[in-house]
Amino acid sequence: MSDVITTEAQNKPESPPVKGAAAAWPLGLAGAALLIIGSFLSWSYDSSILENLSLNGNPGGLQRLTIIGGVVALVLLLIAKGPLESRLGQWLDATLGLRALALYLLIYMVLVVVAISVESDGLINVDPGAYVSLIGSGLLFAGARLLPLRQLRDLGQARLPSWFEILSIAVIMAVILFGAAYALDLKDAWSFVLCLLFYAGVIAAMFRTGTLSWFSHVAQRNKKVLTLAAFVVAFFFPFTQNGSDANMSIATQVLIFAATAMGLNIVVGLAGLLDLGYIAFLGSGAYVAAMLSESAFATINWHPPFPVVVLIGAGVAATLGLIIGSPTLRVSGDYLAIVTLGFGEIFRLAMFNLDGTNGPLLTNGPNGIPAIPELTIGSFNFGDPHTVAGIELGRFSNYYFLLLILLGFIILVFSRLNDSRIGRGWVAIREDEKAAEAMGVNVFGLKLLAFAIGAFLAGMAGTIKAHQDVAVSPGQYIFLESAFLLAAIVLGGMGTIAGVLLGATILKLLPEKLRFFSEYRLLLFGLLLIVMMRFRPEGLVASRRRQLEFHEEDEELAVAVESELVEEAK
């Protein structure tokens, strides 16, 4: 912390000392210690639940998470008062972070006790270890409440050596990779939920200490490193799975979904055109690939190599996109949304009807085209397992890598467009179409371009999806799927890359991992859309400009966004 650029400390009055503040620190220390000690003891008599928490001295998965939480709490306590205070204390808001972490740890421990008693009949099955940890988390919570708040310097101003920033990006990415692999490996639903809760607690603590905002500044400064790191992490994910296909099959579905959502993000997020029939483009790509494949049910007797199929599929989708986009000359807003919805339904009904009796034989009607063979590019067959560096990579891993390349390509297209003249034109159209037109923006041309590019990318994803799914049928391309894609964008944050990837992952992953949840997933999905629009319409990861569009009267935000844009321009 030597080359720190100091700023003027804020001139806030000292907060009055809280009663019992003296007891807060030892109380917190005792709590953290109890939490860790309890985690080394047995939590339950029943070794068959929650992936075995019944051993003394050999903590199970959930207990290890608790130990990590306890250690983090200990570090935060030492930052608040103790040996680390002089170095980190003035930068990190340890008290607020500790309060958040302690709250989550308390909920976590309570839920652990609930989970044990639900999973194996009653509180009788809870071992003393769990109570020790529970009391520990309670003490920690009380201690954190009593700790006084302190004056801090703005972490965003901190400048560390750039090697340190890059190192911290690498460390965080590695943590994300292992965290994701660990969570996905949990078979037990309770364990999975508790694990997610723990992650949420850690993220909340990071947010409250200010580490997260520091990290977002670092990410701003080192965008390329971050992107590279994210792709490296995604690339290494299959190697953490030891050849198991269960998670890889989910991962490929997440990737297809994310790639399609990213394409829709160009139309909705950048150009601001609500498209409720977007799944039709994915479908047209998939149907083209199926009809041109060597399946015995394929209806066109021409089997070009796959790169040609990709181009044809994407081309057909883009043509459809142009057709669907053409009404934008005359309609906009809600009406355009309904027009696209109508096109989407027409696509589905057409695929349903083109079975030879109600129309020309192209799609086999409701049966679809099954038995699509595995993809081959050159002599590489995507169905065969391959061994790389001693780790077996199965069928889904092969598709995973291909889809990762596709997703990378789509993200590249997205970000290049966003930063270009075209992207600025879209922003202008989104915010005020008439003003944009008056400024000489080619409104109709740019809108058509948005539809065509979005459709082209979805068509590409569709051609791969057909082979990955082995079959296509009209039932895969219903309105609800379009709504899901839209929800991923809304949930994550319109017009952002990270947000949409996050939204797509959440929407596709959670129902797959939580079986008990899958029955109610549509119900919760509907509720989620309503709640998101009510309380956070800009999404989880909001682009600043979007945030301003949704909160027009917020002057403070406007100033903040403006200064940020100025900083970016420098």
| Stretch 411-440 residues interacting with another protein (CB under 8 A) | 430, 432-433
167 binds another protein (CB under 8 A): no
CB of 121 to another protein, least distance (A): 24
330 binds another protein (CB under 8 A): yes
270 binds another protein (CB under 8 A): no
Q: Report the distance separating Cα 190 and Cα 320, nearest Å.
A: 45
385 binds another protein (CB under 8 A): no
CB of 483 to another protein, least distance (A): 5
515 binds another protein (CB under 8 A): no
Q: Report the distance separating Cα 69 and Cα 558, nearest Å.
A: 37
Sole window of 57-65, 112-120, 134-142, 477-485 interacting with another protein (rule: CB under 8 A): 477-485
Beta-bridged to residue 388, according to DSSP, are 391
56 binds another protein (CB under 8 A): no
Amino acid at the residue 195:
C
From candidates 18, 22, 300, 349, binder to another protein by CB under 8 A: 349
Q: Report the distance separating Cα 100 and Cα 144, nearest Å.
A: 9
Q: Tell me 384's DSSP state.
A: S
CA distances from 110 to 35, 135, 445 (A): 13, 10, 58
* Coil/strand/helix, residue 260: helix
CB of 268 to another protein, least distance (A): 8
CA angle 500, 504, 507 (to 5 degrees): 135
Sole window of 100-108, 236-244, 337-345, 375-383 interacting with another protein (rule: CB under 8 A): 337-345
CB of 334 to another protein, least distance (A): 5
Amino acid at the residue 141:
F
Sole window of 296-304, 323-331, 394-402, 467-475 interacting with another protein (rule: CB under 8 A): 323-331
| Stretch 178-207 residues interacting with another protein (CB under 8 A) | none
CB of 66 to another protein, least distance (A): 35
504 binds another protein (CB under 8 A): no
Per the document, the length of the chain is 570
469 binds another protein (CB under 8 A): no
Sole window of 52-60, 105-113, 301-309, 522-530 interacting with another protein (rule: CB under 8 A): 522-530
Q: Report the distance separating Cα 489 and Cα 541, nearest Å.
A: 10
Question: What does the radius of gyration of the chain's CA atoms come to, in whole angstroms?
Answer: 27
Q: Report the distance separating Cα 48 and Cα 119, nearest Å.
A: 9
Sole window of 108-116, 180-188, 272-280, 292-300 interacting with another protein (rule: CB under 8 A): 272-280
383 binds another protein (CB under 8 A): no
CB of 349 to another protein, least distance (A): 5
CA angle 519, 523, 528 (to 5 degrees): 130
Q: Report the distance separating Cα 371 and Cα 277, nearest Å.
A: 27
Sole window of 68-76, 382-390, 508-516, 529-537 interacting with another protein (rule: CB under 8 A): 529-537
- Ramachandran angles phi, psi of 442, nearest 5°: -80, 85
Where does residue 333 fall: left (phi above 0), alpha (psi -120 to 50 degrees), or beta otherwise?
A: left
Helix (H) or strand (E) holding 158: none
125 binds another protein (CB under 8 A): no
Size of interface with another protein, in residues (CB under 8 A): 50
From candidates 110, 346, 439, 559, binder to another protein by CB under 8 A: 346
From candidates 327, 370, 383, 408, binder to another protein by CB under 8 A: 327
From candidates 8, 334, 555, 556, binder to another protein by CB under 8 A: 334
332 binds another protein (CB under 8 A): yes
From candidates 287, 343, 396, 400, binder to another protein by CB under 8 A: 343
CB of 299 to another protein, least distance (A): 16
Helix (H) or strand (E) holding 369: none
9 binds another protein (CB under 8 A): no
Q: Report the distance separating Cα 280 and Cα 340, nearest Å.
A: 10
Q: Tell me 420's DSSP state.
A: S
> And the tokens for 26?
């030892």
Cβ atoms within 10 Å of 390's Cβ, excluding its own: 6
From candidates 74, 290, 339, 455, binder to another protein by CB under 8 A: 339
Q: Is 563 buried (19+), middle (13-18) or exposed (0-12) by CB count in 10 A?
A: exposed
Instruction: By CB under 8 A, name the binding residues for another protein.
Output: 272, 274, 276, 327, 330-335, 337-339, 341-343, 345-346, 349-350, 352-353, 357-360, 430, 432-433, 479-480, 483, 486-487, 490, 519-520, 522-523, 525-530, 533-534, 537, 549-550
